[in-house]
Chain A
Amino acid sequence: MAGQSGTGTSATRRLGILVIFLLATLALCGLWFSAEDVVQGSTVRIMYVHVPSIWTAYIAFGLTALCSGVYLSGKNRSLAWDRVAGASGEIGVLFVAVSLVTGSMWGRLTWGTYWVWDARLTSTAFLFITYVGYLAVRQLGGTHRQRARRSSVLALLAILEIPLVHFSVTLWRSLHQEATVANPNAKVELDGLMLFSLFLGLVAFTMLFAWLVLHRQRGMMLEDAFSDRGLDVAITARRNEAGA
């Protein structure tokens, strides 16, 4: 780490440039080149951000659970797994927030209301709150090991909770538009460029996620190192005081 300033490496810089290029292309395709929807008009363009962001959030929470599982089951219990889980959880919360905001903007234009109590919306809101809780638990303090153990168990609990909440909310009510692309029974009914923009969005957001996680987990590593170092410095200072 000596001599390095920031959390970037040549690999993340290349990834970052790729992400900028992909997002710029997505903006061009989504806002400019792709056609308006027959029914929804220009509001369909929100989907190029809305769908990729919730997709990325699912990947993020999946990664959080995976890394937490690896942390708990691994023999050496490397804190790196915990930091990736935490970084991924943070960025997942960010992307759920983006998808909730863009979704309610789309809903206002299409359904005429920011929010409806439909199953998928409601359980997404619960997903958001659950992981906000996860992030809060990470901030509880204690040693890095305590944080890692606590938050890993919680991440696995969340994975258990989410299907249950989703299932019960679905039983409660369901009105949400059926998935259009991921529906195995229906032929995909999207214009070529619209579909391309959507998939470009998925790729671009996934890459962006990877870039953010790489930087964030390095940032966390530095934070951990800083707090360890800070403790050592404080102890030395007290010792010197006692000795003097």
Chain B
Amino acid sequence: MTGAVINKRRIAIAVARKDLTIEWNSRILVNQVAPFAAIVMVLFAFALDNDGILLRVAPGLVWLATLFSMLVVVQRSFTVESADGALDALRVAGVDMGAIFVGKAVALMVQLFVLELMLVATAVVLYGVEMTLAGFCEAIVTLVVATIGLGSVGTLYGGLAAGARGRETLLPLLLLPAVAPVLIGATRATEAAFGSGGATVSEGWPWIGLLLVFAVLFSAVGTVAFGPLVDE
């Protein structure tokens, strides 16, 4: 029993390390996804064309840009697997699918977290957001908790949409409605952290609670449901 648990943990770590190594070597996140996210932030500024509005909606824009970039990252995460039938090979080898889910989700979370930090920094620079120390701490907690939720759901639906032709277009349709609670919760919490529209830091914590529920629920469900979903 203990052996099996340690084994699962080692599988998860190995999968996460593999994904992050691939990312580190290819630099897709830094060279392609991050510039994409940055240009989305710049385009928002063109579209809204008003410093006051921009400052007020900055938190929502950060999270929208995160969701759009996430679609790219998730697809990338599973293209790596399906290109050589790697996922099939792991399944045939009898590797625990729950452990694979955890590993891939953790790797996705790390990438998303880096991306979100960059987006928040962009908002500070481009949109003129100012944060207090308490606000900064709240923003970090929001990023961590929201990222756990996003990483879990992203891996779950990414696995389903991976593989056969024509499924890339399916991912946004499945993923975006599912992450609506994260968009709502994270935007409100970030508003509190940024102090947008007169929001105070204390107003953000209940929304972080919502994010926490989402994160716990989907990481637990994902571990169970990932196997049957990607099973082909």
Q: Does chain A bind chain B? A: yes
Q: Could you tell me which A residues sit within 8 Å of B by CB distance?
A: 72, 126, 129-130, 132-133, 136-137, 140-142, 146, 149-150, 152-154, 156-157, 160-161, 164-165, 167-169, 171-172
- A169 and B184 contacting across the interface, CB-CB below 8 Å: yes
- A154 and B181 contacting across the interface, CB-CB below 8 Å: no
Nearest CB of A to B173, in Å:
5
- A168 and B181 contacting across the interface, CB-CB below 8 Å: yes
Known: A168-B210, A169-B184. 4 other contacts (CB 8 A): A133-B177, A157-B221, A157-B225, A168-B184
Pick from A129, A130, A141, A161: contact of B164, CB below 8 A. Answer: A141
C-alpha spacing A243/B84, complex, angstroms? 34
Q: Could you tell me which B residues sit within 8 Å of A by CB distance?
A: 156, 160, 164, 167, 170, 173-174, 177-178, 180-181, 184-185, 188, 207, 210, 213-214, 217, 221, 225, 228-229, 231-232
Nearest CB of A to B232, in Å:
6
- A137 and B160 contacting across the interface, CB-CB below 8 Å: yes
C-alpha spacing A172/B188, complex, angstroms? 9
Check A169/B180 contact, CB under 8 A, given A140-B170, A157-B221. yes
With both beta carbons as reference points, the residue of chain A lying nearest to B187 in the complex is identified as A172
- CB-CB under 8 A from A141, the residues of chain B are 164
C-alpha spacing A152/B184, complex, angstroms? 28
- A150 and B160 contacting across the interface, CB-CB below 8 Å: yes
C-alpha spacing A172/B229, complex, angstroms? 31
- B221 and A165 contacting across the interface, CB-CB below 8 Å: no
- B177 and A140 contacting across the interface, CB-CB below 8 Å: no
- CB-CB under 8 A from A132, the residues of chain B are 173
User: By DSSP majority rule, is chain A's interface helix, strand, loop, or mixed?
Assistant: helix
- CB-CB under 8 A from A165, the residues of chain B are 177, 180-181
Nearest CB of A to B92, in Å:
16
30 contacts between A and B (CB under 8 A): A72-B228, A126-B180, A129-B177, A130-B177, A133-B170, A137-B170, A137-B174, A140-B164, A140-B167, A142-B164, A146-B231, A149-B228, A150-B160, A153-B229, A156-B225, A157-B156, A157-B178, A160-B217, A161-B177, A164-B213, A164-B217, A165-B177, A165-B180, A167-B210, A168-B181, A168-B185, A169-B184, A171-B207, A172-B184, A172-B188
C-alpha spacing A244/B68, complex, angstroms? 55
Nearest CB of B to A142, in Å:
7
C-alpha spacing A165/B177, complex, angstroms? 8
- B214 and A164 contacting across the interface, CB-CB below 8 Å: yes
- CB-CB under 8 A from B174, the residues of chain A are 133, 136-137, 154
- CB-CB under 8 A from A149, the residues of chain B are 228, 231
C-alpha spacing A156/B174, complex, angstroms? 14
- CB-CB under 8 A from A142, the residues of chain B are 164, 232
Nearest CB of B to A212, in Å:
24
Q: Which of B156, B181, B185 has the most CB of A within 10 A?
A: B181
- CB-CB under 8 A from A168, the residues of chain B are 180-181, 184-185, 210
Nearest CB of B to A137, in Å:
7
With both beta carbons as reference points, the residue of chain A lying nearest to B225 in the complex is identified as A153
- CB-CB under 8 A from B184, the residues of chain A are 168-169, 171-172
Check A154/B229 contact, CB under 8 A, given A126-B180, A141-B164, A165-B181. yes
- CB-CB under 8 A from A152, the residues of chain B are 228
- CB-CB under 8 A from B217, the residues of chain A are 160, 164
- B160 and A126 contacting across the interface, CB-CB below 8 Å: no
With both beta carbons as reference points, the residue of chain B lying nearest to A156 in the complex is identified as B225
Nearest CB of A to B210, in Å:
6
C-alpha spacing A136/B231, complex, angstroms? 18
- B164 and A146 contacting across the interface, CB-CB below 8 Å: no
- CB-CB under 8 A from B214, the residues of chain A are 164
Check A153/B177 contact, CB under 8 A, given A168-B210, A169-B184, A171-B184. no
- CB-CB under 8 A from B156, the residues of chain A are 157
- CB-CB under 8 A from B160, the residues of chain A are 137, 150, 154
Pick from A129, A136, A150: contact of B229, CB below 8 A. Answer: A150
Pick from B170, B178, B180: contact of A136, CB below 8 A. Answer: B170
